[in-house]
Amino acid sequence: MTKPGDQAQPRGSHGAAARGRRPVTNSRGQLTRGQILEIAKAHFGQGGFRGVSTAAIAAEAGVTNPGLLHHFQSKAGLLMALLETRFGRDDEILLTEPSTDGTELLTRLGNLVEENQGQRADVLLFSVLLAESVSEEHPSHEYFSQRFRRARELLHGHLEDAQQRGIIKAEVDTHGLATALLALMDGLQYQWLIDETVDMAGSFRAVASLLADSMVAAPHDPDAEPVS
């Protein structure tokens, strides 16, 4: 259920701050869209989806509410544009060639965790909306559902490839490991948001080091004598 002001300019809002503004023009459209998304990130990160109105975002962006909705049609449309713009790039980091030693994927994920430590606003946005999206009625429920499914498939693909090449032990449950790695990353983010003394990257790499030691298969020695 949307809040009053999400779809139309609220009554009485045409005050001094609103007077003199012009609707968004096509020539400024792209610039204005980016500015609106940046402002929306802070609003959604602090208030979640239901605690935010498009009117408040539009006022801070210096556009009218109808001008904002010209770009995004609705508050849900604004939210989805924000999610796709900010988090669509994460998959690209993992869409690389399979690892050559079975542990390169863990290094890549550790680098991503370290990068996120410098982007608190983005981590806050992701974590708040992820918690809200447990509800099937939330507009981003399907987005996060598909995102997790895609991320699990990406991680599993890398791990399975290494396993088939004999780099990772055959007994490793690559499906379960892919799911657990995502859970570790998201859980560390929640702890860090509550207590910034938590070292997300260091904690992830501590676990990754143990995983690498336990899951990587011993190198095959072609000159070794066969066991009788």
The H or E element spanning position 5 is: none
Beta bridge partners of 216: 168
Mean pLDDT confidence for 98-102: 62
CB-based contacts of 1, cutoff 8 Å, min separation 6: 50
Mean pLDDT confidence for 91-96: 60
91, 70 contact by CB (below 8 A)? no
113, 185 contact by CB (below 8 A)? yes
pLDDT tens-digit readout, 144-196: 999 999 999 989 998 999 999 999 999 999 999 999 999 999 999 999 999 99
What domains are defined for the chain?
A: 1-85 (1.10.10.60), 96-215 (1.10.357.10)
What the block records as the tokens of 173 is: 């449950």
77, 176 contact by CB (below 8 A)? no
Find how far residue 113's CA is from the centre of its chain.
Answer: 11
| pTM for this predicted structure | 0.75
Phi first, then psi, for residue 168 (nearest 5°) are: -105, 140
pLDDT tens-digit readout, 30-87: 557 888 899 999 999 999 998 889 999 999 988 889 988 888 999 999 999 999 887 7
Q: DSSP 3-state assignment of 168? A: strand
pLDDT tens-digit readout, 218-228: 775 444 444 44
